[in-house]
Amino acid sequence: MSTVEHWINGAATAGASSRTAPVFNPATGAPATRVRLAGPSDVDAAADAAAHAFESWSETSLSQRIKVMFAFRELLVRHEDELARIISAEHGKVVDDARGEIVRGREVVEYVCGLGDILKGSFSDQVSTGVDVHDFRQPLGVCAGITPFNFPAMVPLWMHPVAIATGNTFVLKPSERDPSAANLVARLYQEAGLPDGVFNVVHGDKTAVDAILDHPGIAAVSFVGSTPIAKYVHERGTAHGKRVQALGGAKNHGVVMPDADLDFAAKHLIAAAYGSAGERCMAISVAVAVGSAADPLVEILERKARAIKVGPGDDPTSEMGPLVTAAAQERVTGAVASGAAQGATVVVDGRGLKIEGHENGFFVGPSLLDRVTTGMDAYREEIFGPVLAVVRVDTVDEAIALINANPYGNGTAVFTSDGGTARHFQRKVTVGMIGVNVPVPVPMSYYSFGGWKDSLIGDSPVHGPEGVRFYTRAKVVTTRWPHRERETAAGFSFPTSD
C-alpha cells in the first residue's frame, strides 16, 4: 500500500513521525492508501522552510509573483481531470462534481492574477504644507490553512493563492481523509516556478493542528470546518497572537413561495440538497414551504429524489456518490431514524442502499423528510449528508423568523417570482450569503465568502477583498521633504495640519 507523504521545502518527505492513518475508497469501503500523520517536529520543519523562503519571496516583485500565478492557473486547467479523479477516489463525489470544485477554486487564482490593481494604495497630496500621505500593504509572514475533507481542492484554493500572491509563504494541513489532492497542487506550484518552501503540506490530525496553532513562527491561520472546531481554532490561535479566519458549520434554508415556479425550485433544491451527497457547508438541508406551496412541492421533490442515480464517483452515469466514511454513513442513517421517531414523515428513505459491485461502500440514498419541526434533531443538527427536511410555514415572515432563530447564518435562498418579496427577504434575514432563485449562493472570487452567527467565528471571511486584507497589513507613511534653505519649526504639542 502506498503512503501519502508530506511536502516540505519542495520535496516529498516522510517526516519524523512514524504515525500513519488509512485513506479509504468510499465506493468500496476498503483502504486504498495511507497517509503520514505529522508530529510537532514536522510542523516545525514546514514552518522553518516557509520562514526561510519568506525572506526572499516577500521581496519578489509583484509582477513576478503574478507570473507564477498565471502559470499555476494554466497547470490547474491542464491537470483538471487528474486532480478531479484523485478527489473522487478519496472523497467519493462524482468526477464532474470534483471538476466543478476545481473550477471554483481556480477562480480565486484568476482573481489574484489581477492583484496589481487590487493592491494599489492611496495617496493624498499636500495634506499639510509640504506634507504628503500614502499607504501600502505588506505580507504577514508564514500563514497556515487547516481545511476540511469535503472540498480538498477548492477550500485550500480559497486560501493559499491569496496568501502567496500577496507575498506570504504557506503551510497547508489538509484533511487526512482525502490528502492526495494537496500534494498534486504542491507539484503544480513547483512546476509553475514557485520557489521551494513557499508552499508546504503537512498531513495529520489534531496533533498537527495544535502544533500549527501554537507555533510562534506562524502569523495567521485560516480554517474551514465544523463550528465547535472553528471556535477552538479561533480561541487557541488568537491566544497565541495569530490572525485567525474560522468558518464554521451551517443549516441552510431554501424558502419556496407559492408564486414560485415549483418545478424549477424543486429541481434546484434537489441539486443543492443531494449534490456531493450533501457534504457541503452551503448545501440546502431545509426546504421551507410557504402556504399552498407545500403539498405540490413535496410531490415534485419526492419524484425527483427517487430518480437520482447513486453510484461510485468514477461512473459517468452516477449523479451522487457515497459518503466519505463509514462514520458519516452511520450518522446520516441515524438522522433519518431520529426524524422518523420524532414524528417526521419519511417520504423517501435512503437507508440500506446497496450498490451492485460496491456492497461495502459508504452509500446512503437521498432521504426526504416532511412535516419536520424546529424541535426535531433532523432540523437542529448539521447532518452533512443527503437528507432534505421540509418545514411548513404560513407566511414569508414566519419563514424569515425561523431562519433568524437558527444559530447558523451561512447561506439561504428564496424562490419567488415577486421582486418585493425577494427584497424584503434579503434585507431581513440574518444570513451572510443569500440567493434569489439561486440555491447555493457561493459568491464569485472577487467577493468574499463568509456567513453570520455561528457560521463565522470572528470577523474574517475568505478570498476576495477580505482575503487580501487578512493576509496583509497596512502601513501609512507621512512624508515631508523640507527645503534645506528654509527652516521648519518643530513643536512639542501634538502635531496638527495647521
* Sequence-ordered list of residues with C-beta below 8 angstroms from that of 165, at least 6 positions apart, any chain: 65, 66, 69, 112, 113, 115
Beta carbons within 10 angstroms of residue 96's beta carbon: 13
Which DSSP state fits 292?
G
> What angle is formed at CA 294 by the lines to CA 293 and CA 297, rounded to 5 degrees?
80
- Residue 297 host element (H or E): helix 294-306
Parallel, antiparallel, or unpaired for β 452-453 and 408-409? Answer: antiparallel
CB atoms within 10 A of CB 119: 17
- The question of whether 281 is a catalytic residue gets the answer yes
| Residue spans of beta strands (DSSP E) within 394-494 | 408-409, 411-415, 433-436, 452-453, 456-457, 472-480
Catalytic residue among 46, 281, 282, 310: 281
Label the pairing between strands 387-393 and 284-290. parallel
SS3 408: strand
From the list 280, 493, 243, the residue with the least C-alpha distance to 386 is: 280
Report how far residue 411's alpha carbon sits from residue 283's, in angstroms, rounded to the nearest whole number: 8
Query: 277 Cβ partners below 8 Å, 6+ apart?
Result: 92, 93, 320, 321, 322, 323, 364, 385, 386
Q: Which residues contact 135 (CB under 8 A, 6 or more apart)?
A: 121, 122, 474, 475, 476, 477
In sign, the C-alpha dihedral spanning 293, 295, 297, 298 is positive
The DSSP code for 449 is B
* Residues assigned a catalytic role: 281
